[in-house]
Chain A
């Protein structure tokens, strides 16, 4: 009961602070906060399209966020979802461009599988370096992001470029993830993401492998002394995480853009780190956080279109919310203290 009131108080404090900052920012942009709020909410819930758009944007965040959360729980701090997403997309492009006659659903499945493998392999590099030689995965995954991004740039100006055009992009790809809510852009990738939430939850909570990953994440030394193969666990965590991010990249490719472009991923690999963080590395938390982030983006885009208020306000708010949550312990302490003083 006591715990519950603290939770509610905390939620109120966070919401209040965030709204206060939002109001200040909107006033600073020279608009009416109330009107903005109206537009923001209508942008999300006002139309089927707006709502579907939230889920469209949530899918890659969810998949990459899940991957990152597996790493975080196993002590593998993967900052490289962005690059793994690009590698997934590259692999999916290659498979999708493969001129072989086969049913579309098989072709898409093969492309997604290739994306999983490519993302997994890309994360395997920092994974094995950390597991075998103890080299920092934080720096390595970050550096591999640059490599993957620029590799994409080179490929779409080279072998993967659309030969009928001068733009740096691949040809339009035939196989695609089926739409599931016409006429919106929502595609099967979202269902895949939901399925992955379930699978990751099952893996982490109900299998010996998940148990090992958690032990390695909390205390590597004890894991070693008790006979858990720490190296194997780190490699598994990194590859699974990279694989999920690879699928996320391929989902954007085969569900939305249908061409490999330089801006395909556009930073969602980094946003996904925040999703994992806010979701407390719990699959269901990641599900909620990814939808929350996506809703913020959609609402902000509507605000920008209709009222000319920069969508960047949302990035500022995001930063603010993350800092708030990282200060969680401090804020909890303040709330508890208030209660103690109130009781005395």
Chain B
């Protein structure tokens, strides 16, 4: 790809970017959110058309009008969000949209065999007769890769492939990548995890602010210099957590809370959060974390139990009443729960406060005050691009998250429920979010930090609670003597024994 330029309203996503990938290499594409990685790949895949510049494939200039052209040429893409149909089988998903020999009367057995052979060749073990909804995330990813390979992909583009995998699955996944490489396939790996780049890639191209800064051999570099190139400055320091301020009354107290969804109990929990502390909720995704966050914010109602907050019973309070009393919510699903993507940045920043004075006076919205507020948010949190009128959809993930933080966190926030606050963010943005949380804690806010990233929990929390199938396996004080294995086994469902409890 040479001299690729692509502009969106208000942003130049790609500014004369060059990228070259050789057969049989794993090429990492590194950059912060909004650096233009995804745009570049969408151009390669024919989803977007470049404003200028050209794409060369096997030495020839090509122009892909749609993904169909790219697939026909031998380019396969696995998106961050999978594009499988859950109710169909693996086989059906793989041949979906293809007109196989004899179509519409295809020979299922032959196809099954050829897919199985393909799967075996690359070590992509998966049962082709199962429905996709029965598969784990790791297996679904394998199906996506198989799908691309079955369509004859010689170049695979993988967008943040490991974001959804457990460490063990990641290892297996790297095995597959090595196998692909040895068979002569080229792989473009979009990521911002340094360790992975060092472990698996041959070369790396670094993008920053829409331009390609450098191409280097992975073995000639190290994580620190890569990170520096990527964010354009030294890595921000790990946030400093001041010692816990001690023994005030609990800010939030969940007493025997039970949440049921479709008559199945998803959460049964008692928990306290004190002002000026971060309580980390560890656990494998889907063990009741989201229900916990939502029951505290009032989005879900508890079928049993009470919630005490700041000296009052808020079990029956509405979402809005709880927000007004200082409960801020950073949702794990920006696109659905946290933002209105079709509205602009200003409107999204105002979503919590639009009907409060001075933004609403005498029943009318005050545009000037709203502009002032959004400009100050944009300045304080360095949201890019800094134009309040831009559609939320056009912002990168990191900037969308900053907008949520800017909206939710203010002087009045006493309790911050942060659900996966750094999911999908790059290092720079992650560090920024973590230091904001630490700052808020040191200011005296109570924070419930729900995260699937154990490192995040360990580096920020005062206390750590482990959630398994909707129940607390125990609450631990965080400290140097805390063993990761203890938390690990609790995440797997072993409750903390009586004597082990370090926190009553």
Contact = CB atoms under 8 A, between A and B. Distances in A.
Given A218-B340, A224-B299, A208 B331 contact: no
Interface in A225-244: 225-229
Contact of B331 (A207, A219, A225, A227): A225
Contacts of A225: 294, 297, 299, 319, 329, 331, 337-338
Interface in A171-218: 205-208, 211, 214-215, 218
A206 B366 CA distance: 8
Given A208-B354, A211-B347, A215-B351, A222 B363 contact: no
B213 to A, nearest CB: 28
A218 B343 contact: yes
Contacts of B340: 215, 218-219, 222-223
Interface size of A as a range? 10 to 19
A227 B321 CA distance: 8
A205 to B, nearest CB: 8
B355 A208 contact: yes
A222 B337 contact: yes
A200 to B, nearest CB: 15
B355 to A, nearest CB: 4
A229 B354 CA distance: 14
Nearest to B319: A227
Contacts of B297: 225
A218 B340 CA distance: 7
B364 A207 contact: yes
A207 B320 contact: no
Nearest to B299: A225
A338 interface: no
Contacts of A218: 340-343
Contacts of B1: none
Contact of B319 (A206, A215, A226): A226
Interface string A122-159: 00000000000000000000000000000000000000
Nearest to B408: A226
B300 to A, nearest CB: 10
A305 interface: no
Contacts of A215: 340, 343, 347, 351
B83 interface: no
Contact of B354 (A211, A219, A221): A211
Given A214-B343, A215-B343, A221-B337, A227 B363 contact: no
Please tell me the size bucket of the interface on B: 20 to 34
B354 A226 contact: no
A225 B340 CA distance: 11
A219 B339 CA distance: 8
Contacts of B299: 224-225
Interface in B318-344: 318-323, 329, 331, 336-343
B365 interface: yes
B360 interface: yes
Contacts of A214: 343, 347
Given A225-B299, A225-B329, A226-B351, A207 B338 contact: no
Given A207-B365, A224-B299, A226-B352, A219 B342 contact: yes
Given A211-B347, A227-B319, A227-B323, A222 B364 contact: no
Given A215-B343, A226-B319, A221 B355 contact: no
A219 B343 CA distance: 10
Contacts of B351: 215, 222, 226
B365 A206 contact: yes
Contacts of B337: 221-222, 225
Given A219-B342, A227-B318, A227-B323, A206 B336 contact: no
Interface string A304-344: 00000000000000000000000000000000000010000
A226 B350 CA distance: 11
A45 B329 CA distance: 59
Contact of A219 (B294, B318, B336): B336
Contact of B338 (A208, A222, A227): A222
Given A208-B363, A211-B354, A224-B299, A219 B319 contact: no
Interface of A: 205-208, 211, 214-215, 218-219, 221-229, 340
Interface of B: 49, 294, 297-299, 318-323, 329, 331, 336-343, 347, 350-352, 354-355, 360, 363-365
20 contacts: A206-B364, A207-B363, A207-B365, A208-B365, A211-B354, A215-B343, A218-B340, A218-B342, A218-B343, A219-B336, A221-B336, A222-B337, A223-B340, A225-B337, A225-B338, A226-B319, A226-B323, A226-B351, A227-B319, A229-B320
What 4 pairs between A and B have smallest CB-CB spacing? A227-B320, A227-B319, A208-B355, A225-B337
